[in-house]
Amino acid sequence: MDTYTTYDVSDDERELAGLAREFADTVIAPIAYEANRTHTLPLDVVAQMGEMGLFGLPFPEEYGGQGGDYFALGLAIEAIGRVDQSLAITLEAGVSLGAMPIFRFGNEAQKREYLPDLLAGRALAGFGLTEPDAGSDAGATRTTARLEGDEWVINGAKQFITNSGTDITRFVTVTAVTGEQDGRKEISTIIVPNGTPGFTVEPAYDKVGWHASDTHPLGFADARVPAANLLGERGRGFAAFLHILDEGRIAIAALATGAAEGCVDAAVDYAHSRTVFGQPLASKQAMQFKIARMQARVHTARLAWHHAARLRDAGKPFKTEAAIAKLVAGDAAMDNARDATQVFGGNGFMNEYPVARHYRDSKILEVGEGTTEVQLLVIARALGLA
């Protein structure tokens, strides 16, 4: 079945999706098991993704981008998410959390300095929001940055920061309390280059899933950076991040849709090849119905993220639609991973099978970039219920 026969996908977009799917199938899929087994982000594959222009898809050509939009990015992320979520999240975070804050809120000098390498995949960057006591409640941020002369002095800790400790990570952008406004914390965002004295990238996490994705806790002990490293307007750091987060939810929904589709593909192939009591597993109506429901989830999730992405690219409000897309797609990925594992039986518990990796990986799609409960709260507020 042609995945992209829907009315809202142009010929150029269909071609992009096809190229990304071919790359995922021929380059990423063969190395995915070993990369996950060894907890290694394959930077040679990241470089190839950069050469394809995937990191630059939604950025203008003047900074080295492809002149595309967020819908195009979603197509690429979905295609890669089918075969490996670790590399899909590396791309998603590299764009949404690494380059996009610079593009959206950086001054011209910052854009010229950082974007060319980020958009070419020669460098990665992370965004440090979450802390031990501040996640969904980012207002509880404890990391501080005080201005001393022409330098920010940063103290605190961040956790769960993607792309923060690779050999090509250039910097992290962190939220920090820089003062008070009307009795509330003034939160700003500051660029902290890797290698800054006092900035420590702690050992990588031993995670349940996304084993080939780079994720670290970070520490700051009197880390000093120039005052010019302030990103955007002082005191607007949290508001800026919320905008970035809304966009990121669309990309996460695309990733989750890809994961859900990967589970369908694997389940269909296995049902045809597996013989039970002398008959193909695919001949059993119970199995047919299970996989049919899986496909329905994929279709619904895809429509949801397509809608949110089109709204975003048209410059229309999309916050609620992004929350719906992430909610629906995250559920689809987790439900399909569970059902696909059941189709595979004992083999579904073996990590060399993609469905086992999707089963481990997909849970974070209900947590990262805003938990399921946060998405429900956003939707409820849009309905006037909160």
* Candidates 180, 321, 369, 373; catalytic one: 369
Give me the amino acid identity at 13: E
CB atoms closer than 10 angstroms to residue 136: 13
Active site residue 366: no
Backbone CA torsion sign across 187, 193, 197, 200: positive
* C-alpha to C-alpha distance for 87 and 28, rounded to whole angstroms: 8
β-strands 199-201, 169-181 pairing: unpaired
* C-alpha to C-alpha distance for 358 and 234, rounded to whole angstroms: 40
CB atoms closer than 10 angstroms to residue 215: 22
Backbone CA torsion sign across 54, 58, 63, 66: positive
Helices (DSSP H) in the chain: which residue ranges? 11-23, 29-37, 43-51, 70-81, 85-93, 100-105, 108-119, 237-273, 285-313, 319-344, 354-361, 372-382
Q: Do the beta carbons of residue 59 and residue 103 sit within 8 Å?
A: yes
Q: What would the two tokens of residue 278 be?
A: 């002398």
CB atoms closer than 10 angstroms to residue 48: 15
What amino acid positions are annotated as catalytic residues?
A: 369
